[in-house]
Amino acid sequence: MPKLYEYFGLIILFYSNEHEPIHVHCKYQGKESKADIIFENGKFIEVRISEVRGKAPLDSQNLKKIKRVVEAYRDDIVRKWVDFFVYNKVIETEVITKKL
């Protein structure tokens, strides 16, 4: 379960048994939501936020933060997805200290 980013208390990670589409899980104080990165024909379309079954979702303020982070770091997330799930590389956590 590699942790990709920390962003002002939010934890953004992959689970080790993931599935497509490329997505990240976002946790904060026991709550969790998911952000899918949607592509069509190789072109980025949108970041789609959804609930995680069995978990209380993040509040609206944190959902907005997560969407901004995923949009800003989209290409890096895709690269990390390939590195982790295809090449089995270790992913280092990045702490994001600037507000997006």
Q: pLDDT tens digit string along 21-43? A: 999 999 999 999 999 999 999 99
Length of the chain: 100
Q: Strand (E) positions, 2-100?
A: 3-7, 10-13, 23-28, 31-40, 43-51, 94-96
Helices (H) and strands (E) in the chain, counts: 2, 6
What's the mean pLDDT when you consider all of the chain?
Answer: 96
- pLDDT(18) > 90: no
Confidence class of residue 1 from pLDDT cuts 50, 70 and 90?
A: confident
Checking if the pLDDT of 57 tops 90, the result is yes
C-alpha 99: how far from its chain's center?
17
